[in-house]
Amino acid sequence: MLLMMLACEPGVTPSSEQPEILFEVPAGSSARGLGGSLATAGVVGSASRWEWFLRLGADGSCIKAGRHKLKAGMKGEEILAALCGVPVPKDEPFTVVEGWRIRDIDAALAEKGWIKAGAYIEAASKIDSFKLPFTTTSLEGYLYPETYKVEPDSFDPAQLAQRQLDTFVERFYTPYQQKLGTRSLNEVVVMASLLEREEPTPTNRPLVAGILWKRIDAGWNLGVDATSRYSLDDWNDRTAFLKKLRDPTDPYNTRLRGGLPPTAIGAASLDSLVAASAPVPSEYWYYLHDASKTLHPAKDEAGHEANRRRYNVY
């Protein structure tokens, strides 16, 4: 009898063929008090049918506040079982953008009100608290950029960081760890972070990687200006950036100091990580980008200066 009270009526599409409805049960609600909302949502034909179902002996005391997946045409006991089940998590998407530093991720989370400023930075600094199949002195560059579903009400910055690390391991470390050649994992990660900022076109990154690795191997300074922006509060602060370019004590100044910077300068995409691990050799030693961000490599300094004049890049 109870099943018949809210069974699918003639002409109504069976619940198995209906789209899901995310139904919210407010805190403190009674089962009987949900009749109107269930009818408005199209789950039941009317509030009175739901009320009769409960009057005929259904126990609605078990319902849980939160969001539940329902469908139109569900039988009474199916609706009740769903409302008494574990609510759907209130997750939201959070996108970690390619090139973001740890401090940028922290700022974005704080802006949403999910953490106090500095909480993600603090969590990411505790390297020994994470499960890692490799060793590193900094998580910068290893916190994979991707869109993650998170629960704002119970957000834990350390859990997000671990998920990012797990994604890095899944997407890059596991499939490519045997393809790094003579470079260490950390060297590849650092180079990938430079490529992410240096070359906007992913298909050009292996060529740029080849140029930069060639400079490293020849003992040249890299001359990647993006590294001097790394420690700036505002990445686009031009005044502070120009000051950094002239600072020989800045360990991230690759114009005036040799080798790779001490850490990555942000989160690298898979394209950049693969390019850093599989650079394309070429005859080029220099490159620049014109106003449309098109890459123009050069074989020597004379060619590079000619490109500067041709594309008005100084």
One digit per residue, pLDDT tens: the chain, 314 residues? 344 444 444 334 555 678 889 899 999 999 999 999 999 999 998 999 999 999 988 888 999 988 899 999 899 999 999 999 998 878 899 999 999 999 999 999 999 999 999 999 999 999 999 999 999 999 999 999 999 999 998 899 999 999 999 999 999 999 999 999 899 999 999 999 999 999 999 999 999 999 999 999 999 999 999 999 999 999 999 999 999 999 999 999 999 999 999 999 999 999 999 999 999 999 999 999 999 999 999 999 999 999 999 999 98
Range of the domain at 195: 183-311
188 and 263 both lie in a single domain: yes
135 and 165 both lie in a single domain: yes
Q: Are 276 and 191 in contact (CB under 8 A)?
A: yes
Q: What is the pLDDT of residue 14?
A: 54
Answer yes or no: pTM beyond 0.75.
yes
Strands of 26-162 (E only): list them.
66-70, 92-95, 147-150
Residue that is written with structure tokens 């704002």 in the block: 152
104 and 214 both lie in a single domain: no
The C-alpha atoms of residue 55 and residue 1 are separated, in whole angstroms, by 12
Q: What is the pLDDT of residue 222?
A: 97
Q: Which amino acid is at 285?
A: W
Domain boundary among 83, 113, 134: 83
Strands of 115-176 (E only): list them.
147-150
Of the candidates 303, 314, 293, 297, which has an alpha carbon nearest to the alpha carbon of residue 211? 297
133 and 202 both lie in a single domain: no
104 and 64 both lie in a single domain: no
The C-alpha atoms of residue 22 and residue 67 are separated, in whole angstroms, by 6
Q: What is the pLDDT of residue 87?
A: 86
166 and 285 both lie in a single domain: no
60 and 99 both lie in a single domain: no
Q: How far is CA 313 from CA 120, 142, 207, 260, 295, in A?
A: 38, 33, 20, 25, 12
Q: Are 296 and 289 in contact (CB under 8 A)?
A: yes
113 and 54 both lie in a single domain: no
The C-alpha atoms of residue 116 and residue 224 are separated, in whole angstroms, by 33
Give the long-range contacts of residues 38-42, CB within 8 A, separation 24 or more: 38/70, 38/79, 41/70, 42/72
- The torsion region of residue 310 among left (phi > 0), alpha (psi -120 to 50) and beta comes to alpha
- Per the structure, the count of domains in the chain is 3
Q: What is the pLDDT of residue 88?
A: 83
264 and 293 both lie in a single domain: yes
Q: Which amino acid is at 300?
A: D
Strands of 90-220 (E only): list them.
92-95, 147-150
- The torsion region of residue 57 among left (phi > 0), alpha (psi -120 to 50) and beta comes to left
48 and 133 both lie in a single domain: no
47 and 17 both lie in a single domain: yes
Q: What is the pLDDT of residue 189?
A: 98
Residue 222, SS3 per DSSP: coil
Give the phi and the psi of residue 313 in degrees, each rounded to 5.
-115, 115
